[in-house]
């Protein structure tokens, strides 16, 4: 008698930013899935900023989301870097234009609650029906046959694999690591130590655009161990105060209203845009703002058995460079590409075949991990200086060299160019003939696009990055003299 293959089914834990985008991706496939989300409301109460990079727009194009998301997107025309202490301007330029020339899309930011709402509302009804809210996952069981996921309300979901998209404090990760190590998972009431480390914490929120400021400008203000940000969009502005902790920690900290008030008092005098200080910004907001730890780090193993993790469950990036969601989406793109290929050969893959796909996914995604982490860590430290070199870099080297252009072309550019696309779904926009060509293109009608970036292409050259660091260090040394001359010409240059 012929055996009947069990239909492949994915249980996703977490309907956050990446979980909802995964719902869009999977609804374009014939793969069955369900998403379990512990909250009733998918939209966060607090509105933080979310910036999107060009490869994410390529995926949105493939998912037919461009028009649906455009109303909640804001272009960023200009970036201004200033001193948080005295308001003097270090640099002012338009990185968005250069990025658009290089990659076909500029930089855009969005208000997180509006973006999540737009992502959810643009899902087909069949996908919305697969998102189950108020389902707090506390246990994951695996067998050769599949997975069983248990929620605190007694709900049980069965499937072929589990994808943990449940964020920084991932319960799926805790269960997976415990099973792999042959121990019991921590009780749900425990707060296990994070695999990530917090160096900075942040106060954030949104306000109406201050009348004295232009729209669509990102102001970032630097100082010792603290930095501020005020980014204006089309009709809203987002602020942030980032401060270094006395000592990095892996403890989970919940901040109180008093903590927030004290932070504003402490940093009220700092500039956050030309003519605007932190206390002015707080005068414009309605009291609805947050304070959180900004963890950084990654976990070594991203999968075990029939469980695989992605996005914040495996890596946490400091948000200055705006790469967390963008990287998490790239994880899901690579994972689904590989799963689809496997399912073309069998609809009921065994654990070994699945583990091989997960290992392949981890290997591919890990190639760009070091540089993505480095970019995020450097960006944070370029503003809230932890060392004299951080200060020298921001205050003297970057303003007096074309480092911004160089790093956009030679550091950011290659990472963007290597970002994945859904290799089975058509890309409608023309992403050919760009200054920095993309390495990956969908396979349309059985043909791979010809302009895929070759490994020998100069943008792959890893020495470019080392070159920048060496150039920066050399400039730093020579700068002592350069800076003395500048001070003589204009004392304000200090």
- Contacting residues toward ligand FAD, per CB under 6 A: 13-19, 36-39, 48-51, 135-137, 165-167, 171, 202, 204, 292, 311-312, 319, 322-326, 328
Helix (H, G, I), strand (E, B) or coil at 380: helix
Q: Which is nearer to ligand FAD, 233 or 322 (CB)?
A: 322
Residue-wise burial string across 119-149, b where 16 or more C-beta atoms lie within 10 A, e elsewhere? bbebbeeebeebbeeebbbbebebeeebbbb
Q: How does DSSP assign 348-388, residue by residue?
A: S--HHHHHHHHHHHHHHHHTTHHHHHHHHHHHHHHHEESSH
Give the Cβ contact number of residue 438 at 10 Å.
24
Give the Cβ contact number of residue 198 at 10 Å.
23
d(CA 281, CA 231): 12
Shortest reach from residue 278's CB to ligand FAD, in Å: 16
Shortest reach from residue 17's CB to ligand FAD, in Å: 4
Tokens of 165: 């998209």
Shortest reach from residue 16's CB to ligand FAD, in Å: 2
Shortest reach from residue 214's CB to ligand FAD, in Å: 20
Listed in sequence order, the DSSP H helices in 199-350 are: 257-267, 278-284, 324-345
Q: Which is nearer to ligand FAD, 45 or 144 (CB)?
A: 45
Q: What is the DSSP letter of 348?
A: S
- Give the torsion sign (CA, 349, 355, 361, 363): negative
Shortest reach from residue 11's CB to ligand FAD, in Å: 11
Q: Which is nearer to ligand FAD, 18 or 118 (CB)?
A: 18
In sequence order, the β-bridge partners of residue 294 are 200
Please compute Rg for the chain using Cα positions. Answer: 23
Shortest reach from residue 448's CB to ligand FAD, in Å: 28
Helix (H, G, I), strand (E, B) or coil at 303: strand
Shortest reach from residue 449's CB to ligand FAD, in Å: 26
d(CA 421, CA 164): 21
| Nearest-5° Cα angle at 85, 83 to 88 | 40
Shortest reach from residue 371's CB to ligand FAD, in Å: 15
Query: Which residue, judged by CB position, is nearest to ligand FAD in the bound state?
Result: 16
Tokens of 10: 């994915």
Q: Which is nearer to ligand FAD, 39 or 483 (CB)?
A: 39
Q: How does DSSP assign 472-494, residue by residue?
A: HHHHHHHHHHHHHHHHHH-GGG-
Q: Which is nearer to ligand FAD, 42 or 392 (CB)?
A: 42
Shortest reach from residue 494's CB to ligand FAD, in Å: 32
Q: Which is nearer to ligand FAD, 135 or 418 (CB)?
A: 135
Q: Which is nearer to ligand FAD, 420 or 437 (CB)?
A: 420
Helix (H, G, I), strand (E, B) or coil at 108: strand
d(CA 418, CA 370): 14
Q: Which is nearer to ligand FAD, 316 or 440 (CB)?
A: 316
Listed in sequence order, the DSSP H helices in 44-200 are: 54-62, 66-69, 95-103, 112-121, 125-128, 171-180
Q: Which is nearer to ligand FAD, 106 or 322 (CB)?
A: 322
Q: Are strands 49-52 and 108-111 parallel, antiparallel or unpaired?
A: antiparallel
Q: Which is nearer to ligand FAD, 15 or 422 (CB)?
A: 15
Residue 428 backbone phi and psi in degrees, to 5? -80, -40
Shortest reach from residue 420's CB to ligand FAD, in Å: 15
d(CA 169, CA 152): 17
Shortest reach from residue 381's CB to ligand FAD, in Å: 17
Q: Which is nearer to ligand FAD, 37 or 423 (CB)?
A: 37
List Cα–Cα distances, 23 to 37, 131, 428, in angstroms.
12, 8, 20
């Amino acid at each position: 008698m012929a055996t009947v293959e069990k239909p492949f089914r994915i249980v996703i834990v977490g309907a956050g930013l990446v979980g909802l985008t995964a719902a869009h991706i999977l609804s374009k496939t014939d793969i069955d899935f369900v998403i379990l989300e512990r909250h009733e409301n998918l939209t966060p109460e607090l509105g933080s900023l979310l910036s999107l990079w060009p490869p994410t727009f390529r995926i949105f194009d493939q998912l037919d989301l461009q028009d649906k998301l455009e109303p909640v997107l804001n272009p960023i025309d200009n970036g201004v870097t200033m001193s948080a202490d005295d308001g003097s301007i270090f640099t002012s330029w338009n990185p968005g234009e250069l990025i658009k020339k290089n990659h076909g899309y500029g930089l855009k930011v969005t208000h997180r609650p509006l973006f999540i709402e737009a992502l959810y509302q643009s899902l087909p009804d069949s996908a919305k029906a697969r998102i189950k809210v108020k389902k707090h996952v506390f246990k994951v069981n695996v067998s050769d046959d599949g997975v069983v996921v248990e929620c605190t309300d007694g709900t049980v979901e069965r499937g072929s694999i589990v994808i943990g998209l449940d964020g920084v404090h991932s319960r799926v990760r805790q269960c997976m690591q415990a099973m792999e190590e042959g121990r019991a998972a921590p009780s749900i009431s425990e707060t296990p130590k994070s695999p990530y480390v917090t160096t900075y914490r942040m106060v954030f929120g949104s306000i109406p655009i201050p009348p004295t400021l232009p729209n669509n400008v990102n102001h970032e203000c630097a100082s010792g161990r603290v930095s501020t940000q005020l980014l204006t969009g089309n009709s809203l502005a987002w602020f942030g105060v980032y401060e270094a902790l006395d000592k990095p920690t892996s403890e989970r900290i919940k901040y109180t209203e008093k903590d927030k008030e004290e932070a504003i008092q402490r940093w009220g005098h700092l500039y956050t845009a030309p003519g605007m200080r932190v206390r002015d910004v707080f005068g414009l907001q309605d009291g609805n703002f947050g304070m959180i730890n900004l963890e950084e780090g990654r976990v070594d193993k991203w999968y075990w058995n029939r469980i695989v993790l992605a996005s914040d469950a495996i890596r946490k990036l400091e948000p200055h460079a705006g790469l967390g969601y963008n990287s998490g989406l790239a994880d899901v793109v690579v994972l689904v590409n590989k799963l689809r290929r496997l399912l073309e050969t069998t609809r009921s893959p065994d654990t070994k075949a699945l583990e091989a796909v997960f290992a392949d996914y981890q290997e591919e995604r890990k190639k760009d991990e070091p540089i993505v982490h480095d970019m995020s860590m450097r960006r944070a430290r370029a503003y809230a200086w932890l060392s004299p070199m951080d200060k020298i870099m921001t205050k003297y080297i970057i303003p007096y060299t074309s480092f911004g252009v160089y790093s956009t072309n030679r550091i950011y550019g290659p990472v963007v160019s290597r970002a994945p696309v859904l290799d089975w779904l058509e890309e409608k926009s023309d992403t050919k003939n760009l200054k920095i060509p993309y390495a990956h293109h969908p396979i349309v009608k059985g043909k791979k696009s010809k302009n895929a970036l070759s490994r020998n292409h100069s943008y792959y050259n890893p020495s470019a990055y080392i070159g920048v660091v060496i150039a920066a260090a050399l400039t730093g040394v020579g700068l002592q003299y350069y800076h003395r001359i500048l001070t003589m010409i204009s004392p304000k240059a200090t």
